[in-house]
Amino acid sequence: MNSAISASLRRILELARWAPSGDNTQPWRFEVLADDRLRVFGHDTRTHCVYDLDGHASQIAHGALLETLAIAATAEGLHADVRRQPGCPDSAPVYEVHLAPCEGLAADPLVAMIERRTVQRRAMSRHPLDPAHKAALAASVPGYRLVWFEGISRRWALARFMAANGKNRLTMPEAYPTHRDIIEWAARFSEDRVPERAVGVDPMTARLMRWALRSWGRVEFLNTWLAGTVMPRLQLDLLPGLRCAAHFALVAERPPAGTDDYVAAGRALQRLWLVATSLGLFMQPEMTPVIFSRYIREGRPFTAVEAVRDRAARLALRMEGWMGADDARQTVFMGRIGYGPAPLARSLRKPLSQLFVNGVH
């Protein structure tokens, strides 16, 4: 199709692209086949991102995109039927979307939350979650359970856990290219990365990180001689881990087995995040310990550094200790949550015109 698309489809896709993805990679492209039919080409970052070696983080993002698209379609009176094309490799799944008019379909109130939802990596209020809000969040993810880590002692345990995991992230050479490439320095907004001011560190630490991330040698020097991980872990893991209402795990009914399960988890996550937004809550995903624990369980090599592997194995055991081995295996997402304030910096998105694979304008 080499032509203009309908105003209605354009509105749907303009909203859909605001779905969240790890490091704001936006691993999706659109092929418009007709005004009521399109293909979403998913991809992942397994060739260069240690957090996505099995593609599952990207598949969660695909799910978030498809859920956002389906919610946006309701504002046009359309139901979105989504099917994954059989036979495509897991690293490049293709989703067929058919939009059909649906009489009596009301616009989902979450449409208004799509552009407002954003990650908050800095301090949130420690005000406990309102029980009615917890019930609304639980109701937004049928087929999944939310396990809460609330109260000062559990938040402290989670904060320490995240800081230990942060040491792994900052000392493994395999994560270095991702950290080097995903931050847009000195920026408050970024279309295709995470802007420096949304990272969650103070300006001095940001300057030091910017200097260090020019080479792995500098990062190693800082880590070895100047306790280089202390300030980032304090600001990125320990303090935010305490300064929130709760941490949570999104737990599936059975261990996720493949692409479809992760896509479904991404759909649930996006509903959860949009409902949280509608309740005045902010969230930050805490996905790297979930990912490393899975690598450990599945015996997937992800680092050449023995100390990192050993620490990841100990952290995986610690997670099983709090939740039980079954819940830990069935956890598809983890994060922290709390009431405001809203972040002052955020990721934006690539313009829609850059997301088409065919000549749509």
Compute CA distances 64 → 15, 188, 209, 289, 305, whole Å.
12, 24, 30, 20, 33
H or E element that contains 136: helix 131-139
Could you say whether residue 119 binds ligand FMN (CB under 6 A)? yes
Stretch that binds ligand FMN, among 16-24, 138-146, 149-157, 296-304 (CB under 6 A): 16-24
Question: For residues 253 and 332, is the Cβ–Cβ distance under 8 A?
Answer: no
Could you say whether residue 281 binds ligand FMN (CB under 6 A)? no
What residues contact 26, with CB distance under 8 A and at least 6 apart?
A: 17, 61, 192, 349, 350, 355
> Of 127, 170, 31, which Cα lies nearest the Cα of 338?
127
Strand partners, 341: none
Please state the closest distance from residue 123 (CB atom) to ligand FMN, in A. 14
Could you say whether residue 121 binds ligand FMN (CB under 6 A)? yes
- 3-class state of residue 100 by DSSP: strand
Could you say whether residue 240 binds ligand FMN (CB under 6 A)? no
Could you say whether residue 23 binds ligand FMN (CB under 6 A)? yes
Please state the closest distance from residue 199 (CB atom) to ligand FMN, in A. 8
Residue 80 or 276 with smaller CB distance to ligand FMN? 276
Please state the closest distance from residue 6 (CB atom) to ligand FMN, in A. 26
H or E element that contains 252: strand 246-252
Spatial separation of the C-alpha atoms in residues 265 and 332, rounded to whole Å: 7
Residue 20 or 241 with smaller CB distance to ligand FMN? 20
Strands of 78-84's sheet in order across: 28-34, 37-42, 94-101, 78-84
Q: Which residues, numbered 288-327, are part of the site for ligand FMN (CB under 6 A)?
A: 288
Please state the closest distance from residue 102 (CB atom) to ligand FMN, in A. 28
Which residue from 136, 187, 231, 287 is in contact with ligand FMN, where contact means CB under 6 A? 287
Please state the closest distance from residue 172 (CB atom) to ligand FMN, in A. 15
138-169 per-residue burial string, b: 16 or more CB within 10 A, e: under 16: eebbeebebbbbbeeeebebbbebbbbbbbbb
Could you say whether residue 59 binds ligand FMN (CB under 6 A)? no
Could you say whether residue 345 binds ligand FMN (CB under 6 A)? no
Please state the closest distance from residue 269 (CB atom) to ligand FMN, in A. 7
Residue whose token pair is 């997301």: 355
Could you say whether residue 347 binds ligand FMN (CB under 6 A)? yes
Binding site for ligand FMN (CB under 6 A): 20-24, 57, 60-61, 64, 118-119, 121, 194, 284-288, 346-347
